[in-house]
Structures are given as C-alpha cells and as structure tokens.
Structure 1
Amino acid sequence: MEQITLGSGCFWCTEAVFQRLKGVHSAVSGYSGGKTKDPFYREVVAGKTGHAEVVQVTYDPAQVSLEEILEVFWKTHDPTTLNRQGNDVGTQYRSAIFYHSEEQKEIAERLKQALDKSGAWVDPIVTEITKFDAFYPAEDYHQDYYNENGSQPYCQFVVAPKVKKFKEVFPDKLKED
C-alpha cells in the first residue's frame, strides 16, 4: 500500500470521491500543510492554522496508479482557483498535493505541467505540490461524512454533484458495490 495526501476543497467531497475509486483502501479526512500541531476543525476553517482540508488516500498501486489517482483529483475539482472551491473560500480549501516520495513529486509535477500545456482549463493550474510533513485526522464526525449524512443540504448540493461527476467520467474506475 502507498499513500498520498490531497486537498481539493472541502474534505467531505474529496473523501466521498476517493472512497469510490477502485484500488483505494481508505480515504481519511484530515488536515495537512500548516503550522499548528493537532489542529481542530474550528481553527482550520477559521484560517488560523495554515492547514488545508485534505484526504489521506491509501491505495494499492497494483490496482490503481498514482497517475489515475491524480487524474481523478484534477478532474473532480477546479485546480485553477486559488484558495477557493465554489463557496468555500480560504487557504484551508486550496488545491494541494502533499507528496510522500520524490517519485510522487515527479509524477505530480509532470502531470500538472502536461495539463497546463493541454489547455484543459483556460486559467493556469494553481495546485501546490508540497512535501508531506504531517497528517492530522479530522474529528470522528467528519469521517465517512457523505455516506452517513448524504441527505443533508450541503451533501445534496455540493458533495453529490461531485460524486455524480466522478461516476459519469470514470465508470470503469468505480469500486463494485
């Protein structure tokens, strides 16, 4: 198993997508990239810690490649908006890849550059690619949030469309139910 830590806005959205990707063993919501040790949600969303909301993805590289994971990552959020995803605004919602090895860094930088050159987006990709330092799991009530709270308005209006898009764009990469 390998791990990569990804930030693409609200971690509920990111977690819900990666939980459904074939080859992913776990997707855990949490915080990374900041200065505060053992941060709490209220500190992070207030922008006081420097952390991003992230999901630590543990995956089997024999079943899903890092390239495939990053393809899903880039196609399920807007990597061209700095410190924002939809109505979620602040550095805690930044697009970020926290790599766990030099190989992951090289792959992420190569793919980011290729995507920028492809013209897939009008604006340049602002995803930060940073060496992984620490991961702090979010509070228990944030884990498996969409699966447990899918009928809540935020889940219906924000998370569900991202999950739907993932299923439509990547039907061959879905886990079996």
Structure 2
Amino acid sequence: MTKSWDVATFAGGCFWCTEAVFERLEGVQKVVSGYTGGQIKNPSYREICTGRTGHAEAVQIVYDPNIIDYTELMEIFFATHDPTTLNRQGNDVGTQYRSAIFYSDDRQKEAAEKFIELLNKEQVFEAPIVTEIVALDIFYEAEDVHQNYYDNNRSQPYCQYIINPKIKKLKTYYAKKLKQ
C-alpha cells in the first residue's frame, strides 16, 4: 500500500507545545512550526512576538489519513490546549497565540465546523469555544531554532512546566495513538 499524505494546520498557542504533541502520534510523518494568518510576507519570530503582524504561531502536520484521520487530529488538538480563551494560552497572551484551525479545503472546513458544533452541543468545555476556522493562505516555516524545540530543549523551564503536562496528558489519554 502506498502512503498518501495529507496536511493539517492548527494554531493552539505556542507552536513549541503544539509541535511536541503531534510529533508523537502514529501516522504523523512530520510537524513543522511556523506562522500563518497575518499580513506581512516572510515574518520573523521577533516580528510575530509583537502581535502586530496578525500571524498565529501554528504547526503544519503531515500525516497518513489511513493511520490517523483529520477528526482524530482535531480531537487531540482540542484536548491539549484551551480553545475557550481568546488570544491566549496560559501566560502566552496576544493574537499570535490564538486558537485556530486553518483549513486547506472544504472537507477540512466542514469537519472543523461539525467538530466544534459537537463539542459545544456536548458542553465539553465550561466556556464557549473561540477557535477560529480560517482558510489557509500562506504558511511560513519558522526559523530552525523553533523546529523540534521540545525535543532539543527538554531541560528548559518552559518545556518542563508548560509542555511536559501536555505530553503527560497525551500519554494518559491517547497512549494507543502514540508512536512506538
């Protein structure tokens, strides 16, 4: 059987966190940290951090839909960040840390709309979901230092206090989805 890769683009706060979660999933070939949803071309991390470019820190997930599908990726996305806080994740505040799904086709858009509708209907979260559903325009790959950040910097306090609990949650609730 030949592999047919698909791409999902999510923004769930700091891309170091989001990347660390999705890199561990079976069926995910690679995860790239980057920027999307803003107004300037080829933004840098320094520019993104000002919150004035309109970009979100996001990840592109290249995955095999025969192993893990888009809905499963969305489930893990919503389980590992807070989709109810506008332009913030914990102490990370600004539009660059917003919760967003950047869809690349009508199929992804419809799936995202239905998934959020279900989460709201089932009252999975105590507050309303503020995750944006936006057409993907251009995705700019972040600088090399931001790629595989968690795996390369596990001893950093941010990784220990912010990312480690997300990885623990992933291992607890999605152990069967993890790479062996």
What TM-score, normalized by structure 2, do the two folds share?
0.97
Q: AA paired with 2:147? A: Q
Tell me which stretches of 4 or more aligned residues in structure 1 moved more than 6 Å.
none
Matches within 5 A, 1:17-166: 17-166=21-170
Aligned Cα RMSD in Å? 0.5
What TM-score, normalized by structure 1, do the two folds share?
0.98
Q: AA paired with 2:103? A: Y
Structure 2 residue runs without a partner (length 5+): none
Alignment: residue pair count: 176
Percent of aligned pairs sharing the same letter = 58
1:8 paired with 2:12, answer: yes
Residues 120-152 of structure 1, C-alpha deviations (whole Å, 9 max, x = no match): 111110000000001000000000000000011
Instruction: Give, in whole Å, the separation in 2 of the partners of 1:72 and 1:22.
Output: 13
Residues 4-60 of structure 1, C-alpha deviations (whole Å, 9 max, x = no match): 110000000000000001111111000000011100001101112100000001110
Q: AA paired with 2:42? A: D
Instruction: Give, in whole Å, the separation in 2 of the partners of 1:169 and 1:154.
Output: 22
Residues 66-109 of structure 1, C-alpha deviations (whole Å, 9 max, x = no match): 00000000000000000000000000000000001100000000
SS of equivalent residue, structure 2 residue 41: coil
SS of equivalent residue, structure 1 residue 77: coil
